Amino acid sequence: MHLYVHISFLSLIEPIDLFLHVHDDQFTMDTDSEDLNEEEEEDDEQESDDDTGFFPIDEHVVQSSQPNNQPIRTSSEQSNKYSSGLTATNTHPQDNNFEYVVLSQEEIVKYMVECIKEVNEVIKLPSTTVRLLLHHFRWDKEKLMERFYDPNHQEELFRQAHIVNPFKKTTPTPTQLTSSSQRTTHRQVSQSSSDQTCAICCSTKSSSEMTGLECGHNFCINCWQYYLTTKIRDEGIGQTIPCPAQCDILVDDKTVLQLIRTPEVRQKYQHLITNSFVECNRNMRWCPGTNCTNAIKAAYCDVAMVVCTGCNTSFCFQCGQSWHEPIKCKWLKKWQKKCHDDSETSNWIAANTKECPKCHATIEKNGGCNHLICKNQSCKYEFCWVCLGAWEPHGSSWYNCNRFNEDDAKKARDDQERSRAALQRYLHYYKRYHNHHESLRLESKLLSEVQKRMESMQQQMSWIEVQFLQIACDVLRQCRQTLMYTYPFAFYLKRNNHSIIFEQNQADLEHATEELSGYLERDSNQITNLTEMKQKVQDKYRYCSTRRKVLLDHVAEGYDCDYWEYNEDL
C-alpha cells in the first residue's frame, strides 16, 4: 500500500529463480555459464536473434501455478465466494460486469515478457531496449508505437527515455576504445593490446577488464559490479540505473545480469523490475493482502471491488485500498491525509490557544487569571484573555470587558469558536471511524474462537447446522468495514434531507451490528438453548445484511441522482 503507499512492495514478492533455462524462443537471463572475458564470436547478423530476452520463464513452473487460460471472473462472482453465499452490493451497478484475473508471481513475469515480445515483433529492437521504452511509457504499448513511428519525434523519444538512438549508431572503428561499446548486445569488450585507465578507481586495467555501455563510457568490471550492487541492494534502484559517468544513459538488463553474480542481488533486481511493471501498469494492482504476492489484471481501471483468490482479500481496483464502499477514492484519500498530517494539530492549537495581540506569539493559558503577560522577552505585552484588549484600561471592572467590543476582538473570538467547532466535528467522526477500525481488527481474532465453538457445537448439531456462525462472522466483518467508511463519507457531506436519511440508515445498521457482535462474543457457558441461540443469530445477521444493502443502495442512488453535496474546504 503496500501499497500502497505508499509503502514498498518488495517485501511481499517471493524470490523467483533467475537461473532457469528456457527452450526455443523463450527469454533467458542465465549468463552464469558465460565467461565475462571471452571474446565475442557472434557477428552482427546473429546479435538481433541472440538479444531476444529479458526474464526466464520455466514453462513447468508457470503451468503448475494458476494457468493463464483460467476463467476470468467478474466482481460479483468473486464477491459471492468471499461472502459465503451472501449477496454483495456494489456502489456502481455496472461493476457487476468488471472482469479481472488473478496472476501469480510467475504469471506476472510471463505477462511482462509477452508484452515485450509483442512490441519487439513490431519495432525490431533488442528486448532490453524495448523494456526500457515500455517503462518510460508506463507500459502503454499504443503510446509507445505512436511515438516510435513519428519521424519528427523519434530522436526526442530516445533522448527522453535515456537510451542511445539505435538508428544513429556509428560503425565501430579500430581507433575506438572498444568495439562492444557501440554494439547492441552490450557484451564484454574485446581484448586489445593497449591498457586503459578506469575513471572510477583510477587504476590501469587491460582491455579485457574494461566494459561499458553504448554511450562509450568504459570502467573496470570490479567498479561496475560495486556500482550496480550499491544501486540495486542499497538504494533499491533497478529499472532506472544511470551510467556511472552521469551521462543519463540507462544501464540495460543484459549488462546488469552479465556483471552481477550474487544471487541475492540478481533476485532483488528482478523484484524491482517486476514491482515497477505492476505499479506502472494502470490495469494492474498488487493485492494488499498480508504476505500475498498475487496481482490483479483487468481490462480497464475503474472503481470496482476485486477479490484475490489467493488470500480472499477484497480491495478497490482503482486506488488499491481495502474496499471502502460507500466513500469514493478521492474523499478517502483526503480523509486519510487529514488523519495523518498535522492539520488537526493546527486545529487544536487554534481552538486552545490565542495569539498575543502585539507580537502574535502563540500563548496557552495555564491558570485561572485572565490577566496575561506575553513571555516574549522583546514584547511582554499585557492584555485581557477574554477580549484580547490591552489590560491597562480595564480598571476595576476588568471582568466585564464592557469597554472592549471592537471588531478585531470580536473577530478573534469568532475565529477561535469556529476552530473549536471544526475540531469537535472532526473528532466526532474520527473517533467513530477509529472505533470501528479497532473493532474490525479485534474481531478478526474472533473467527478462531468461533471455529472452536463450532467444533464443540457439533456434539449436538451436524457440521452444516453450525455454519451459521461462520456466515455471521462474515456479515459482521462486512458491516464493520462499511460502517467504518460511512464516517469519513458523512464528514464531508453537506447537510440536506438525504444526508439525514443516510444518518438514520447508518444508526440502524450500527445498532444491529453491535447486537450481532454481542451474540458472537457471548460466552459459550451462558448459552443454554443452542436452537434458540442459532435462531437469534440468524435473524440478526440477516437483518444486518439487509440494512447494509439498504444503506449502500441509498448511497448509490445518491451518486446516480446527485443527491450528495460536499464540503470541499474541510
Just list the catalytic residues: 369
Q: Which of 351, 567, 344, 436 minimizes the C-alpha distance to 336?
A: 344
Query: How far is Cα 96 from Cα 78, in angstroms, rounded to an integer?
Result: 10
What is the four-CA torsion angle of 470, 476, 477, 481, rounded to 10 degrees? Answer: 170
H helix and E strand count, the chain: 17, 14
Cell of 490: 458523512
Name residues whose C-beta falls within 8 Å of residue 202's C-beta, 6 or more positions apart in sequence.
none
Query: How far is Cα 461 from Cα 447, in angstroms, rounded to an integer?
Result: 19
Within 13 Å of residue 339, how many CA atoms lie on the same side as its CB? 16
Beta-sheet strands, E only, within 426-548: none
* H/E element, 103: strand 99-103
Residue 497: CB atoms within 10 Å: 8
Q: What string of DSSP letters covers 355-375?
A: E-TTT--EE---SS--EEE--
Strand partners, 197: 204
Q: Are the CB atoms for 90 and 325 separated by under 8 Å?
A: yes
